[in-house]
Structure 1
Amino acid sequence: MQIDLNSDVGESFGSWTMGDDDAIMPSVSSANVACGFHAGDPSGIAATCRAAVAAGVSIGAHVGYRDLAGFGRRFLDCSPTELADDVLYQIGALEALAGAAGATVRYVKPHGALYNTIVHHEEHAQAVIDGIAAFGADLPVLLLPGSIALEKAEQAGLRGVAEAFADRGYTPEGTLVSRRDSGAVLHDEAEVAARMVRLATEGVVTAVDGSDVRVAAESICVHGDTPGAVSMAAAVRRALEDAGVTIASFA
């Protein structure tokens, strides 16, 4: 058994610090590095790339809506052309900084509102895939299972990689509980670790109503910006390895 662990990193901006990138790296196999549109500044992004290289972690472009003030968590009603260009721009910027650190961008993961929007928004899903395809490196795309964007990726000849979320609650339909609702974020390390062992070994998670939901995922996201994130990520990795699951990047 093998699964990837990914985390959102590179999100500090100037004197505003978000997460602890250096501390999270030993627990993950893939790093979703902010590209400056929802978070991150060039020097911080470059430092995160160097930390990923030092830890042997794959670098992915964490592309988002152009929304620094809202941390990329607000829908932007931009045109498909503008969105595709924004995605391409972000991948290119990260590729330059990753290259300077001796690495390359290995995959793409949309962030925040963009990630959730392209589960069902056909035009924006197509725009994201168009932007990735325009980069020309056949980059895999990390997405929510059942999303329209996964279908668009397959149609474009890109590899779609489904992921699960370690510290997020699930609805009985297999979607994430809205952050506006109770049960959206889980904080108990032991509970989260046990849930992810079950996901990796059985392909199911327990929904907020107590029912079992089947989730097929090649990667697990352990958030790096929530309280106790570093400790939780380490606990998840420990539990998976103790259960005989190998941690390795899909990219």
Structure 2
Amino acid sequence: MSLDPATLAPHVDPDWTEALVLELRLRDVPGDAIGDVLTEIDAHVVDSGTSAQDAFGDATRYAEELAETAARPVPDDPRDMVPYALGAAGFVAALNGLGAWVKSGSGSGPLAVTVGIAAVLVVVAVTPFVLQRYGTPLLRFLVSGSPLRASLVVMAPMVPTVVLVLLGRAWELVTLPAAPVTLGGATVAVAALVMARRRPSLEDPVVAPGGDRDAALAEARRETTRLTLLTTGAQVVIAFAAVVGVVLLSR
């Protein structure tokens, strides 16, 4: 089953459809409502013989008009972000523990928890909640600008984080054995992933009127799971390689 909204309006210019759907998504219009809109637009284009641009005008402006009356989804629930916050913090803890473990050659080797590490833990734990609250205006800013601006915005949070790590290295808060931190962090990360899958689905596929929403939702979940596994796997491999590289270079 295709999740591409353009399949619901095959007689409409794909670029016009993409601009319409993007603006409707940015304005939190539900997928069911978007499906209704696309079906009606496609039917009008077929019946009238005119293009969507001629019939409805600019796609973005038309989406703004539709969003004023379209039903809004339920407000974002901060609890949805808890698994992602825990998962990110667990991953960072495991990564630092693994680095100390490999460097010392022993699971009982010391991991010095510095102010820098603590700051990173706080940053990665808070980030999901910030993105949930301000994600829409941030996404609008990114998609409306150049790739260079988007890259700079994405990289911007890394600068203060790196500064915190470098400045905080001199201030040690506590020393912990590396193995328990590594295994504990990994356990939290895996548990958070399981929690995220058990939370109510955040997917909101675009479905035509009378369409099989359950099938579309199942397909969206499979796609999300596949992407999550690929992304997580790549992050783990890259992080492990980075830790090993740093340890080897420091010897």
Mark yes or no: TM-score above 0.5.
no
Answer 1 or 2: higher relative contact order, Cα 8 Å, separation at least 6: 2
Task: Report the structure number with the largest CA radius of gyration.
Answer: 2
Q: TM-score, normalised by structure 1?
A: 0.23
Q: TM-score, normalised by structure 2?
A: 0.23
The structure whose residues are more often strand, as a share, is: 1
